[in-house]
Amino acid sequence: MLPRTPSFRLDGRRALVTGAGRGIGLALASAMAEAGAEVTLAARSVDEIEAGAKAIRDAGGLASAARLDVSDLPAVTEFFAERMAFDVLINNAGTNRPKPMQDVTEAEYDAVLNLNLKSAFFVAQGAARRLIAEGIAGSLIHIGSQMGHVGGPSRSLYCASKWALEGMSKAFALDLAGYNIRSNTIAPTFIETPMTKPFFADAAFKAAVLDKIKLGRLGTVEDLMGAALFLAADASALVTGTSLVVDGGWTAE
């Protein structure tokens, strides 16, 4: 008898996506719902996540919106205490303050590291604690960056946070393996979203980026949807403590 491909479906599972109001977060929430998961879209911007959840429902999916400021740690604790465990976490909320390292202020350092790393840590901890308490296997997916594998000019804060996220996820994988909870990152290249679009109006910047992306184009949110689905589903059941780099060849050189 031939072996059967493990499922890419998420029917009957619950997924939480942070920073889900737009761009990458909304796309990954849509991917989870399309695969059959019941998705909770979380962000500070209530109007955006409610609109996103409605769009998913209108497309036939299961989705709800939950206001959550992931930088408010007591609110994060309360959020997980009030809900059943999520089988899948997509730890997506993040920010950037691009500038040369010699110009970085303490406030900018705190803004980037607190959201990209500290908040990501405690959201993952909250999700993992619920999974452990309920005896459920799960998948923690952290949205990192190619800049968690290489350096970049004017990216000292972002690189610091994303390199740390990679190490954090590997350690999570070791701590949680005994509970059958997996932890991985997705490391995208530059993705064209409403937030990044203004940067690419600078022709010189766009040309420099495309020179590094060997496949010759910017990433789209669709490029990340399959990667997230793979890491969320049984298809990746033996994958933990690693990074799925979606960078068009940037880090291969």
Q: Give the span between the Cα atoms of 173 and 86, in whole angstroms.
A: 17
What pLDDT, on the 0 to 100 scale, is given for residue 29?
Answer: 98
What pLDDT, on the 0 to 100 scale, is given for residue 113?
Answer: 98
Distances from the Cα of 169 to the Cαs of 83, 88, 163, 229, in angstroms?
A: 23, 15, 10, 18
What pLDDT, on the 0 to 100 scale, is given for residue 56?
Answer: 98
What pLDDT, on the 0 to 100 scale, is given for residue 105?
Answer: 98
Spans of the chain below 50 pLDDT: none
Helices (H), 12-151: 23-34, 46-58, 73-81, 106-113, 120-134
What is the number of other CB atoms lying within 10 angstroms of the CB of residue 223?
20
What pLDDT, on the 0 to 100 scale, is given for residue 194?
Answer: 78
Locate the domains of the chain by residue range: 14-248
What pLDDT, on the 0 to 100 scale, is given for residue 196?
Answer: 84
Distances from the Cα of 53 to the Cαs of 27, 38, 47, 62, 143, in angstroms?
A: 11, 11, 10, 8, 20
What pLDDT, on the 0 to 100 scale, is given for residue 157?
Answer: 98
Question: For 14-248, CATH number?
Answer: 3.40.50.720
Q: Give the span between the Cα atoms of 166 and 186, in whole angstroms.
A: 9
Hey, which residues are catalytic here?
158
Tens of pLDDT, residues 184-237? 999 999 999 877 888 899 999 999 999 999 999 999 999 999 999 999 999 999
Asked if 16 and 53 count as a contact pair (C-beta separation under 8 A), the reply is no
What pLDDT, on the 0 to 100 scale, is given for residue 125?
Answer: 98
Q: Residue 64: is it exposed, middle or buried by C-beta count within 10 angstroms (0-12/13-18/19+)?
A: middle
What pLDDT, on the 0 to 100 scale, is given for residue 140?
Answer: 99
Backbone angles phi, psi at 112, to 5 degrees: -75, -50
